[in-house]
Amino acid sequence: MSTPTRTAVLLARGPDRKGLVARIAGFLYSHGANILHADQHIDMLAGMFFQRIEFTLDDMDLPPGQLQEQLVPLMRDLGMTFQLYGTDDVPRVAVLVSKLEHCLIDLLLRSRAGEIRGQIAVVVSNHETLRPWAELFQVPFVYLPVTPETRAEQERKLLDVLADHEIDLVVLARYMQILTPRVVQAYPLRIINIHHGLLPAFRGARPYHQAMERGVKLIGATSHFVTEELDEGPIIEQEVARVSHRDTLSDLQRKGRDLERLVLARAVRLYLERRILCYGNKTVVFD
């Protein structure tokens, strides 16, 4: 047995109505696809239907280009929007960092180990600190320093770098700058941040200090899409660790680093496997 080599993922959504599953599955079957995974969700309150289908391309009677084309009228007819991703297309990822190394190294290692589909195409930073790590993994490193005065200019350059590298996904791996709407709007629901607090608690700066101050018994980390409102975007994944009165701030940071790594890596993996759909301010995660 071996996994089929060429597959595609269809993400689709629209108002719920009868026959969506039958019509979509019927279409794929009629063209020779074999459905490997199919997940669906109906939000009863919103009356919305969401679907992820992963299927083989090998025996289809349509080349991927025509598949896309023929899905358009079907989906229009069903009142749905969709994206189609061939798993041959390797998504390109930019990782933005400042000085903290743990999330970047973790992503580089997981990428090399094949845990994360997609290619880390560039590392961008407002500091030179982590250049050696990018170079060790033979990933281009772009240094874009920033001051309050140069922010607009720096973000213009950042957008150029992202465009040059044909980036699909931007990952903020403890990047200590707040992106302006200009960048956020250029990559809508395509920027993932790791926040080192259990959102919506401890928004903003220094969440471990806030957690210490409040005396919580669990700390957490949250990966979410970046929107124009700080720390308010759709949540993808969260995890916690137990703390006690014995834990100092540095213990919280140590435990937190482990959470951040895990929670960010899970979000990136889920995104690149096309398992996330957003609606309203929430995510549907087909894991």
Question: Which residues are at the interface with a second copy (CB under 8 A)?
Answer: 1, 3, 17-23, 25-26, 28-30, 32-45, 47, 59, 101-102, 105, 109, 113, 115, 136, 198-202, 214-218, 220, 234-240, 244-246, 248, 254, 257-258, 262, 280-285, 287
Tell me the C-alpha distance between 212 and 236, whole Å. 25
Task: List, in order, residues 6 or more apart from 153 with CB less than 8 Å away.
Answer: none
Considering 61, 231, 251, 258, which one is annotated as catalytic? 231
Determine if the peptide bond prior to 15 is cis (ω within 30°).
no
Closest distance of CB 134 from a second copy, Å: 14
Number of neighbouring beta carbons within 10 Å of residue 159:
15
Tell me the C-alpha distance between 264 and 269, whole Å. 9
Tell me the C-alpha distance between 271 and 267, whole Å. 6
Closest distance of CB 222 from a second copy, Å: 8
Cβ proximity to a second copy, 91 vs 220, nearer residue: 220
The separation between the first and the last C-alpha atoms of the chain, rounded to the nearest angstrom, is: 23
Tell me the C-alpha distance between 91 and 158, whole Å. 19
- Whether 67 and 6 have beta carbons less than 8 Å apart is answered as no
Give, as one character, the DSSP assignment of residue 160. Answer: H
Per-residue CA distances from 38 to 10, 35, 53, 55, 130 (Å): 9, 7, 4, 9, 40
Cβ proximity to a second copy, 109 vs 186, nearer residue: 109
Cβ proximity to a second copy, 70 vs 281, nearer residue: 281
Cβ proximity to a second copy, 148 vs 242, nearer residue: 242
Is residue 116 exposed (0-12), middle (13-18) or buried (19+ Cβ within 10 Å)?
A: buried
Closest distance of CB 20 from a second copy, Å: 8
Closest distance of CB 162 from a second copy, Å: 27
Active-site residue 58, yes or no? no
Cβ proximity to a second copy, 158 vs 211, nearer residue: 211
Cβ proximity to a second copy, 162 vs 278, nearer residue: 278
Count of alpha carbons within 13 angstroms of residue 213, beta-carbon side: 7
Closest distance of CB 25 from a second copy, Å: 4
Tell me the C-alpha distance between 54 and 11, whole Å. 9
Closest distance of CB 83 from a second copy, Å: 18
Place of tokens 């309203």: 280
Annotated active-site positions, please? 231
